[in-house]
Structure 1
Amino acid sequence: MQTDIDPRNLIGLKAFDRKGTKIGTVDEVYLDDATGVPEWAAIRMGLFSRDAFVPLEPSQLVEGVLRVPFDRALIKDAPDFGVGRHLSPEQELQLYHHYGLDIAPPPQLHHDFDQIADPEDA
């Protein structure tokens, strides 16, 4: 997805699945904590339905609508974390797995203090 799009411009857009079936309306946009790039959209799937999270990276903004490359049924079955709250890294990982998207885990900081050289050995 284009990274130069203001996430506020996505709110209120209609969203469609890969078959062209209407999913709903973009209710909220979630930014990546590290980069500030829009990463997830919460799609309101009906008047009295919950919001479903969809990844923005494989999605496309085409002619004023959000095209999501997944079936409506898969989107509807996405984990429900509620909206208006921060997504934890664990919740994001669950969403990535739900959509079958591979992401590289963040690098682990590993300190092997036993390998620190003694200054007298240098």
Structure 2
Amino acid sequence: MRLTEQQIRSLYGQDVQDRSGAKIGSVGQVWADAAGEPTWVSVKTEVVGHHESMAPLQAARLQEGRLRVPYDKATVRSAPSVETGTDEPLGADQLAQLYRHYQLQQQGAVRQPEQPPPRMPGAPELTRSEERLRVGTESEPAGAARLRKHVVTENVHTTVPVAHEEVSVVHEPITAANPAGVRPGIGAEQREMELHAEHPVVIKEQVPVERVRLTKDEVVEEQPVNAQVRREQVDADVPEPARRR
């Protein structure tokens, strides 16, 4: 990532975000290569300790005062680290570990961290300080999700076709073409015909219909933080004839 000198200076203390926008920490120091191009930054995380994780500036982006790197939070936090406040250049072994961790092609040597320009000896100076917010995140239980099942009863209305037999009385005359077939006689007599009718039958069976499970995703959202910070101002009282025009 090619940056101007002003942008390099502004990196210090900026929030560092992973590729999803989640905050990892803030920029501690910046390392440049032999040509003076910034190549690595150390990231101050909320993890207790005196070490800062290293992250490459290759493919990183500056967005609205934040530095976003194309890696997830876990990858950056588990990267090789340096001691907080170190002014030592990165060694060959450190660089090799970093390039392996981020699966990058190794470049040339890296100089010591960028330092402010040297001061003029004997010149009066004041150190101006200011408060800066270091806003982090802390994970805490937010409830528990459970799966429960219970039985409910509902009415089901449906229809089913049913059949039944009906009897019709048919009268046929006895003729020469349609003889009776039996000898005629007068007397009481009875014949029966069995009739059938269908009726609905309900059978219940248990059938698995779906599988229900719980999943969870991490959702990142911006939450406003309001706080007051103090800063010092330095006023120069220079006589009029000595002022530079």
Once residues 88 and 100 of structure 1 are traced to their aligned partners in structure 2, the CA distance between those partners, rounded to angstroms, is 18
How far did 1:105 drift? 6.9
The residue type equivalent to 2:45 in the other structure is M
Name the structure 2 match of 1:57: 58
- Cα RMSD for the two superposed structures: 1.9
Name the structure 2 match of 1:114: none
How far did 1:62 drift? 1.1
Q: Could you list the per-position Cα deviations for residues 53-96 of structure 1 after superposition, in whole angstroms to 9, with x for gaps in the alignment? A: 00011111111100011011111111123241210133112101
* Larger relative contact order (CA 8 Å, sep ≥ 6): 1
Q: Decide which structure has the larger Cα Rg and report it.
A: 2
Task: Count residues in correspondence.
Answer: 105
Name the structure 1 match of 2:226: none
Residue identity over aligned pairs, in percent, reads 36
User: Mean Cα displacement is larger for which, 87-96 or 2-11?
Assistant: 2-11
Once residues 105 and 95 of structure 2 are traced to their aligned partners in structure 1, the CA distance between those partners, rounded to angstroms, is 12
Name the structure 1 match of 2:103: 100
Once residues 91 and 48 of structure 1 are traced to their aligned partners in structure 2, the CA distance between those partners, rounded to angstroms, is 22
Q: Gaps (5+ residues) in structure 1?
A: 107-122
What is the DSSP-based 3-state SS (H/G/I as helix, E as strand, rest coil) of the residue aligned with 1:81?
strand
The residue type equivalent to 2:93 in the other structure is E
Once residues 5 and 70 of structure 2 are traced to their aligned partners in structure 1, the CA distance between those partners, rounded to angstroms, is 19
Once residues 52 and 104 of structure 1 are traced to their aligned partners in structure 2, the CA distance between those partners, rounded to angstroms, is 19
The residue type equivalent to 1:80 in the other structure is S
Name the structure 1 match of 2:148: none
Is residue 102 of structure 2 the alignment partner of residue 90 of structure 1?
no
Name the structure 1 match of 2:77: 76
Name the structure 1 match of 2:23: 22
Name the structure 2 match of 1:42: 42
The residue type equivalent to 1:92 in the other structure is L
**TM-score under structure 2 normalisation?**
0.40
User: Mean Cα displacement is larger for which, 12-21 or 42-51?
Assistant: 42-51
Greater helix percent: which structure? 1
What is the DSSP-based 3-state SS (H/G/I as helix, E as strand, rest coil) of the residue aligned with 2:100?
helix
Name the structure 2 match of 1:117: none
User: Given that residues 42 and 81 in structure 2 are in contact (C-alpha distance below 8 angstroms), is that contact kept between their aligned partners in structure 1?
Assistant: no
Greater strand percent: which structure? 1
